[in-house]
Amino acid sequence: MLNASDLGALYLTFKVASIATLLLLLLGTPLAWWLARTRSHWKGVINAVVALPLVLPPTVLGFYLLVLMGPAGVVGKFTSSLGFGTLPFTFTGLIVASVLYSLPFVVQPLQAAFTSIGEQPLEAAATLRAGPLDTFFSVVVPLAKPGFLTAGILGFTHTVGEFGVVLMVGGNIPDRTRVVSVQIYNHVEALEYTQAHWLAGILVLFSFSVLLVLYTVLKTQPVAHPLK
């Protein structure tokens, strides 16, 4: 069965995923809104940057983060000068890495939802003298609700499933950076296959149930990449 360090890893994983998803929705919403509305030449570039974590091996992201957030890196020097120290091997570092890693899984569904609303509801709101913020919260958010749900669920589950990045920047510290995926890997490496089975089974069950809800109850289409 599960021991204390397995439970610790599970708790940590869901904590990281919850905080990262919250931050992703906060940061991803304005970004997705801008991407859905803008005609700027930068749109293509920003779209590509947002999609990068989809195609890059996690080791690339993890390696760059380790170097950039380390004491000799640009980000590391910045966080040190603010008195925070360096981010690798810390819970905060894990959150930063997770947000970057799961960014496309939140921004893309939101962007698709915003794009599909079209001009008409916004123009109708404008003729009723609704300000931009009022329009966004009274018109856009309700219409894009399935997009928000998809974004939240995908962001959360994808963060739960992250491995390569955490392995590179986390340092495998119990209760601080040792998430479930790393714990499973440790069990396999140490030939503790029973322990590995328990945790792996829990993850499979969890991920399947969440995706089932996503695709049956919410009726989301499996492919929704607004790369156009």
Partner 1 sequence: MLSGRFFRPLIAAWLVSLAPTLSAATTLAAVASDFTKPMNEIAIEFQKATGHEAKLSFGSSGKAFAQIQSGAPFDVYLSASEKYPLELEKSGHAVPDSHFIYAIGKLVLWSATPDYVDGQGEILKTGTFKHIALADPSHAPYGVVAEQVMESLGVLDKLRPLFVMGENISQTYQFVSTGNAELGFVGLAQVIDVNSGKIGSGSGWIIPDNLHSPFRQMAVLLRTGAENPAALALVDFLKSPTALAIIEKYGFGLPK
- Which residues here bind partner 1, judged by CB under 8 A? 66-67, 69-72, 85-86, 88-89, 167-168, 171-173, 185-186, 188-191
Query: 55 vs 191, which CB is nearer to partner 1?
Result: 191
* Shortest distance in whole angstroms from residue 68 CB to partner 1: 10
What count of Cα atoms within 13 Å lies in the side-chain half-sphere of residue 152?
Answer: 13
Query: 69 vs 140, which CB is nearer to partner 1?
Result: 69
φ, ψ for residue 10 (rounded to 5)? -60, -45
* Shortest distance in whole angstroms from residue 189 CB to partner 1: 4
116 Cβ contact partners less than 8 Å away, ≥ 6 residues apart: none
Give CA–CA dist 32/29, Å, rounded.
Answer: 5
* Shortest distance in whole angstroms from residue 193 CB to partner 1: 9
* Shortest distance in whole angstroms from residue 197 CB to partner 1: 14
13 Cβ contact partners less than 8 Å away, ≥ 6 residues apart: 160, 179, 180, 181
Give CA–CA dist 170/33, Å, rounded.
Answer: 32
Give CA–CA dist 203/210, Å, rounded.
Answer: 11
Which SS3 state, helix, strand or coil, does residue 103 take? helix
Query: 116 vs 172, which CB is nearer to partner 1?
Result: 172
Query: 66 vs 106, which CB is nearer to partner 1?
Result: 66
Query: 65 vs 107, which CB is nearer to partner 1?
Result: 65
Rg (alpha carbons) of the chain, rounded to whole number? 20
* Shortest distance in whole angstroms from residue 81 CB to partner 1: 16
